[in-house]
Amino acid sequence: MSTLSSPIRAVAFDLDGTLVDSAPDIGHALNSALRQAGLGSFDLAQVRAWIGDGPDVLIDRALKALRVADSAALRAELRRAFDVATLDAPLAHGSVYGGIAALLQQLRPDWPLVVVTNKPTALARAVLDAGALLPHFHAVYGADTAVLRKPAPTMLQRAAAELGVASHTLLMVGDSGADMGAAQAAGSPTAWAGWGYGSAHPLPVEPSWRIDHPSQVLGIVRSTR
């Protein structure tokens, strides 16, 4: 377990694979878009392994796996269809991870909470709303442009600035290497969510804490007081 020289003042959460098990919904949206374009589809295990870098990278990975001649027009068509399918049923197939709702309820009175995700903001807010999680969060920061995508630290830095806390007091909770890399670049402590999708991929940096259940986040933030 890590120790910090400063108390944690706020907590940032990744979305997919951290707050929600949304792989079934992402798979549904991707396969719906691919089918509309007359292309193939992928099983849940494959889609889960691709999650973490936003829909544009997901689509790119799918097209490379299908070995089809792609184009900017095809990618745009697939992205539009992906967004429509997501917004039509944001969390119809997946679910909020057990323990998340209780954790957010306990954290919210004393620690401002934000979401920092590579999912575009509109899609992220729709998923959070469908999971009845949106009211817990001060703000949602989505990667609406490629330059914002984690592991870039920009969204975490912006969240810290808008919350009025230093980056080194903003805990990043996430399941992917991109989460850990973004936090390292921002100077933020990290808790790696072992229940998520990132266990199949190496981490670029050792997290401050490795946790196996959402309830452990509360113990972390309390221990730094």
Under DSSP, is residue 2 helix (H, G, I), strand (E, B) or coil?
coil
Burial of residue 46 (CB within 10 Å: 0-12, 13-18, 19+) is middle
Please, are residues 27 and 42 in contact by the beta-carbon 8 Å criterion?
A: yes
10-21+95-223 shares its CATH topology with 23-88: no
pLDDT over 70 at 53, yes or no: yes
Q: What are the tens digits of pLDDT across the range 58-93? A: 999 999 999 998 899 999 999 999 999 999 999 999
* pLDDT level of residue 3 (50, 70, 90 thresholds): low
Q: Across-strand partners of 11?
A: 113, 171
d(CA 42, CA 128): 25
Q: Is the pLDDT reported for residue 1 higher than 70?
A: no
Q: For the whole model, what pTM was predicted?
A: 0.96
Instruction: Give the CATH superfamily of 10-21+95-223.
Output: HAD superfamily/HAD-like (3.40.50.1000)
Determine the residue type at 222.
R
In the prediction, which pLDDT does 135 show? 98
pLDDT recorded at residue 161 = 98
The one catalytic residue among 14, 16, 25, 179: 14
Q: What digits encode the pLDDT tens for the residues 6-47? A: 899 999 999 999 999 999 999 999 999 999 999 999 999 999
Report d(CA 51, CA 34) in Å as an integer.
Answer: 16
Using the structure block, give the residue that is written with the tokens 């979401």: 115
Q: Where are the domains of the chain?
A: 10-21+95-223, 23-88
| Band of pLDDT at residue 4, cut at 50, 70 and 90 | confident
101-143: pLDDT as tens digits = 999 999 999 999 999 999 999 999 999 999 999 999 999 999 9
Whether 60 is catalytic: no
Quick check: helix, strand or coil at residue 30? helix
pLDDT tens digits, 151-187? 999 999 999 999 999 999 999 999 999 999 999 999 9
In this predicted structure, the answer to whether residue 200 has a pLDDT above a threshold of 90 is no
User: In the block, which residue shows the tokens 């878009």?
Assistant: 33
Q: Which CATH class is domain 23-88?
A: mainly alpha
SS3 per-residue string spanning 135-204: HHCCEEEECCCHHHCCCCCHHHHHHHHHHCCCHHHEEEEECCHHHHHHHHHHCCCEEEECCCCHHHCCCC
Peptide bond into 151 cis (omega under 30): yes
